[in-house]
Amino acid sequence: MKIVRPVERLQKRAGADDALILDIEVARTTRHHHKGEVYRASATLALAGKTIRASAEDTEIHAACDALEDELKREITHYKTSSFSVLKRLGRRTKQLIRINPAAWFRRGGRDWHEGN
């Protein structure tokens, strides 16, 4: 199934010991609609301590599944990059805290230390 591909990639990256639970629901929104976005597809992915949800609506069931796959990819990418961006933000903050005052730089004869004589 096409919707499962992003989850399979996440499973390979996470390792075999982490359990991923994917719940997919494809349904018709109401019985009385004949035009517009009638079909709805939604997916819930349960990770260790985190839940990712994605949903899409479209006029055809196959188009709704395709849109759901794109939305699920987007949510998984956001999940994977969020921990990395938090780490980068922490590194930037730490660098600001330990920045040396320019008056304490090593200077010799009015020139920087690495310039030579």
- Domain membership of residue 113 (yes or no) is no
- Domain membership of residue 107 (yes or no) is no
Stretch 37-43: mean pLDDT, rounded? Answer: 88
Inform me whether the pLDDT recorded for 33 exceeds 60: yes
Domains identified in the chain, total number: 1
- Domain membership of residue 48 (yes or no) is yes
Q: Which residues contact 84 (CB under 8 A, 6 or more apart)?
A: none
- Domain membership of residue 112 (yes or no) is no
CATH of the domain at 58: 3.30.160.100
- Domain membership of residue 23 (yes or no) is yes
- Domain membership of residue 117 (yes or no) is no
Provide the percentage of residues in the chain whose pLDDT is more than 70: 81
Inform me whether the pLDDT recorded for 79 exceeds 90: no
pLDDT of residue 3: 78
The pTM score is 0.64
pLDDT of residue 15: 66
Q: What 3 state SS string does 45-71 have?
A: EEECCEEEEEEEEECCHHHHHHHHHHH
Provide the residue range defining the domain that includes 64. Answer: 2-100
- Domain membership of residue 106 (yes or no) is no
